[in-house]
A and B are shown apart, each in its own frame.
Chain A
């Protein structure tokens, strides 16, 4: 049940408990209680809106930064990750397997802001060995949603 509720909310966080109850053939009290529980357990961590900022006219740039670090005794990567994710301009931080350790997604208003962040805040951390910054040029698909495509129903209106 939880998984079904979550996959509905993941697609449309505005769906009410009543609506979800109809779709899943359950009671709205049951669904509302389940959602509340998942909020308390931090399974549901928030209700976001997926925005195509490009279309909204925003000039903000997004950068993916690969970061190689030295893990610290007793704390692994968690401590250094925290030092990075506490910056509000940092949108996401992932621990990654492979050629580098942390993937940092950064939103800045301008290119300069991003490069300032990397040179003055990120690179100066003791444990950071190196960084590689990639700027995102275009978002095609985010969180399972394809931005450009507006689906049009091209089926015939009546078929047997």
Chain B
């Protein structure tokens, strides 16, 4: 077939987006066998049976039509009830809640609803890979804020302030964080909120990992800080907490003025989130929180196991209290993250993700996921230990 080559074939903006750093690594891994992977960003647990059963049941009853654009009323009510219970913050299920295709769609919608050409978006890095490209596609200007290990990869008020200009409009708050596992404490959020209020910034708070924190205290959201609920788009979903990645279901909540515009875009682009998934998600919120707690306990045990193993092999790693990632530092080896990860893959057949795939400030780190059984983690850690020993031996 002849390759298309018209001068104006593609959108310049879309065509010039940098492909995800993860994708490149994925292609290398895909060609190898016998790889122990620690590279996935999704739970290893099956979706709770009650959720799958509800999905099957609604299919059997033929509930396969569009829902309203914003999503099933009963699901939005469950979501708002859940947020009220977890955060003590109320949202109106009719005006202030939208069901989306994963948290990802909500991120895209938020940028498109809020940004005008040239508006600057502050993005703390390392972070999930889609904020920057989505901001660019919405004509925004992404401005990375490199976070520091010495702050345990939290965003500080002074880091935030340093990056604010006259054009700054929106701050992305990706906590609990993928890839670092960092969480923001209440006092951190209060300091950030103060700066946001002073500079009239809006916030996109991506709290997809909110149910997976290991501090012993509940997750804290910036919407709980006085004055912030009105200027924050809260994004969450079912993928991580309820092990429902493939169902593609998320949601966002915020002021009705913003949500109505997001719903309008969603209506034209998507119509509505998958009906079947919406019924299943309502069942998840209704009946399955005890299962979330069980999964969280298992993640916490694996997290402790990994940190213990790193300590034993002398690999420096700050203690992360959220999500299901650890982010050890590999700077002592004098290699880039990609060199380290590629070597680990080739020599020991262990796949991890180089930290710089999540932003330049992730250079010198690797992301290790603990969404794996303990047995798999033990095997992988054994291999990692051999690799590290060999590098240190200088051979």
Contacts and interface: CB of A to CB of B under 8 A. Distances in A.
Does chain A bind chain B?
yes
Interface of A: 4, 8, 22-25, 153, 155-160
Given A158-B25, A158-B26, A24 B39 contact: no
Interface string B16-41: 00001010011001100001010111
B26 to A, nearest CB: 4
Contacts of B357: 160
A120 B53 CA distance: 46
Contact of B39 (A4, A25, A157): A157
B42 A155 contact: yes
Contacts of A8: 301
A160 B37 contact: no
Q: How large is the interface on B (under 10, 10 to 19, 20 to 34, 35 or more residues)?
A: 20 to 34
A153 B44 contact: yes
Interface string B296-310: 010001101100100
Contacts, number: 53
B351 interface: yes
Contact of B41 (A4, A22, A153, A159): A159
B304 A155 contact: no
A146 B302 CA distance: 23
Given A155-B42, A157-B26, A158-B353, A23 B35 contact: no
B351 A158 contact: yes
B128 interface: yes
B394 to A, nearest CB: 29
B145 interface: no
B304 A160 contact: no
Contacts of A159: 22, 26, 39-42
A156 B304 CA distance: 25
B4 to A, nearest CB: 28
A155 B44 contact: yes
B29 A157 contact: yes
B129 interface: yes
Interface of B: 20, 22, 25-26, 29-30, 35, 37, 39-42, 44, 128-130, 178, 297, 301-302, 304-305, 308, 351, 353, 357, 372, 374, 376
A4 B178 CA distance: 28
B301 A155 contact: no
Contact of A157 (B30, B44, B305, B374): B30
Contacts of A25: 304
Contacts of A24: 301, 304
18 contacts: A23-B304, A153-B44, A153-B376, A157-B26, A157-B351, A158-B26, A158-B29, A158-B37, A158-B39, A158-B40, A159-B26, A159-B39, A159-B42, A160-B20, A160-B129, A160-B130, A160-B178, A160-B357
A45 B83 CA distance: 43
A156 B26 contact: yes
Nearest to B306: A22
Contacts of B128: 160
Contacts of A157: 26, 29-30, 35, 37, 39-40, 351
Contacts of B42: 155, 159
A23 B305 contact: yes
Contacts of A23: 301-302, 304-305, 374
Contacts of A160: 20, 22, 41, 128-130, 178, 357
Contacts of B35: 157
Given A156-B26, A158-B29, A159-B22, 11 more contacts: A23-B301, A23-B305, A153-B37, A153-B372, A155-B44, A157-B29, A157-B40, A158-B26, A159-B26, A160-B129, A160-B178
Nearest to B129: A160
Contacts of B22: 158-160
Q: Which 6 A-B pairs have the closest CB atoms?
A: A23-B301, A158-B39, A157-B37, A158-B26, A22-B308, A159-B41
Nearest to A22: B308
B234 to A, nearest CB: 21
A85 B340 CA distance: 61
B223 to A, nearest CB: 25
A24 B305 CA distance: 9
A108 B250 CA distance: 54
Nearest to A12: B374
